[in-house]
Amino acid sequence: MCDPTATEVVHGPLVQQGTACEYETTQTSKHNCPITSVQLVSDWLIKFNFIWAPIFLLGGFVIALWGKQIFHIICFLLGSFVSATLLLLLFYSNFMTADTKSWVAWTVFALGIMCGLIGGYVLYKLQRLAGALFAAWGGFLLGMVLAQLVGLKEFTIAFWLFNFLLSLICAVLSWVFYYHVVILSTGFIGSYLLVRGVSLYTGGFPNEFEYIRKA
């Protein structure tokens, strides 16, 4: 039995069930509580890869090649996607477990999309801010890759500090060199989505969610 406030393991009494050879007891401990993780989001993406892979492939291809021309549309779409993703990460990593029913996951997903659309509209109206945020996101993704290469996996503080600084640098540069960074950031994000879409079919791509969990 789960008791997150328990300070020690408590065993219940043995209760005879049916025959003389059948007994039942209970164990109450905080260690019996379900363990949640952002890995659940990755598992959910893989489970429904027939939906997400085509979206990532098509979206990544279009964004990588025509990002500057359709940046106002990208602001809305990616703003909605990022806002919804952050909300879903919050819900899935704190309130959902591996035993959560599929209909509950879809309900939470629908609510996350609705809230994400609001975030997308805000970024649509504030495109320069959107460029800075997208550059920061791209800097964070780049930082995760570089962190793996330089071996920051074992150092939690160093990992987050490295990614935060890289995101901040990219955001500042995007504000100063707006149009140049729009081209670079949309190309990078589009390429990432394209490769991530392929990985949902083939596998072998570094799992960001698992990496964050271990860090």
Taking only the tens place, the pLDDT of each residue in 149-189 is 777 665 567 778 888 888 899 888 888 888 887 887 788 87
pLDDT digit string (tens) for 58-99? 988 988 888 888 888 888 887 787 788 777 777 766 666 666
Which tokens in the block code for residue 20?
A: 């003389």
Domain range annotation of the chain = 1-33, 39-78+122-214
Q: Looking at residue 94, what is its pLDDT?
A: 66
